[in-house]
Amino acid sequence: MRVLITGGAGFIGQRTGDLLLKQGHQVTILDNLSPPAHDGPPALPAGMELVEGDIRKREDWVKALKENEVVLHLADHHDYLPSFSKLFHVNTVGTAILFELLLEGKTSVRRVVLGSSMAVYGEGKYRCGKDGDVYPQPRRVDALERGIWDPPCPICGGAITPMVTDESVARPTSAYGLSKLAQEELVRLLGERHGFEWVILRYGAVQGRAQPFQNAYYGALRIFALRLAHDQPPVLLEDGNQLRDFIDVDDVARANVTALAGLPPGAYNVASGRAHTLMDLARILLRVADRDLTPETPGRYRVGDARHAVPDVSRMKAAGWEAQAGLEAMTREYWQWLRSQPNLDTYFEGADHLMERTGTVRVSR
Ligand SMILES: NC(=O)c1ccc[n+]([C@@H]2O[C@H](COP(=O)([O-])OP(=O)(O)OC[C@H]3O[C@@H](n4cnc5c(N)ncnc54)[C@H](O)[C@@H]3O)[C@@H](O)[C@H]2O)c1
């Protein structure tokens, strides 16, 4: 295959490009090498052709599309900070330009695979003893301020239990999630209507070595590990009992290649299928790093976060893909990589202070 990866110089893009090259495919990447993903020119795997350009610029897409047959569209803006207009400008305008060019018929592209996120589910699916399956509203800031972490039933207001969330209902609770859903809907509508093959992959929390720790978007493991490297205990948001699905970047790369090679159109959750609390993650890291510290839960919270994110991975399993790496192996790999990195002081707490200053991370009363 001749593959164009947008955002191919990033964390997931590089690992996917690597895998494609090993399998004998041709890889071009379109990337503007922008911060915070990059704080200097990346060392790209040999064999990847880099087109340095911006997905918001039509002429840069034209330079990169050339003879490519499939596009893995990963370039986007992702952030918890209130950069709302940039989220929509990069994520939707970039995708719309791609389809304008496809419709002009001057490219060889037949398939588009979009890298999306669990963030499109917002709070996801729950079960209420009285009202059955429900999809809670975004959690209210006044409840979070009082340290009430669990969302109530949107119908009766009672207690509800988190369930695995399949691909059928998407209700984002953050501007990032909403921008990814808008991007998805463009791919779905324009792909379907104009006869292009399309696939949407919704990734869980992707982990692994070489995850740039200057990028504040990458949450728990980056923050905990940076603190441990400075002999500080992990500080968990909320009460640490939030459920997340952590997936290894190499498993994500295999899922991307599976989708590029030919999954039927649709949205697919790409995750490990195993839920862990943030407290589990902190304890695993403490064990792996051999540190005798106690995780702290001072009641901080991040506006827009979902309480739990537990994806149902049965669609991808039915398509023949399954995650292989476990959380302990992922955590060990990340810790070993981070310990080998220079200048960790540069990144320690910088991103978290910025989130506090902008009111993105707050403390309950
Ligand atoms: N890493 C995760 O945990 C995770 C989880 C869910 C979804 N995703 C999605 O996966 C995709 C890839 O994420 P990642 O973790 O590799 O991110 P990353 O930040 O490491 O890589 C993104 C790349 O896109 C490039 N880019 C940003 N804006 C651009 C623009 N306007 N034009 C051209 N290039 C641009 C950046 O320079 C970077 O190389 C994103 O769409 C993201 O939303 C990631």
- 145 CA from centroid of ligand 1 (Å): 31
Please name the amino acid found at residue 252.
Answer: V
Catalytic amino acids? 176
Pairing of strands 70-73, 2-6: parallel
* pLDDT of 351 over the 60 cut: no
Alpha-carbon distances, residue 74 vs 6, 77, 115, 334 (angstroms): 5, 10, 5, 22
* Residue closest by Cα to atom 18 of ligand 1: 10
- 42 CA from centroid of ligand 1 (Å): 14
- 133 CA from centroid of ligand 1 (Å): 33
Residues with CB under 6 A from ligand 1: 7, 9-13, 31-34, 37-38, 54-56, 74-78, 90, 115, 117, 203, 205-206, 212, 215
Q: Domains in the chain, please, with CATH?
A: 2-125+164-363 (3.40.50.720), 126-159 (no CATH)
pLDDT at 215 (0 to 100): 65
* pLDDT of 248 over the 70 cut: yes
pLDDT tens across 111-140, in order? 999 999 999 999 999 999 999 999 999 999
Band of the pLDDT at 5, cuts 50, 70, 90?
Answer: very high
Average pLDDT over residues 238-255: 96
* Residue closest by Cα to atom 25 of ligand 1: 7
- 239 CA from centroid of ligand 1 (Å): 29
Distance CA 228, CA 233 (A): 6
pTM, entire model: 0.95
Q: Are 96 and 73 in contact (CB under 8 A)?
A: no
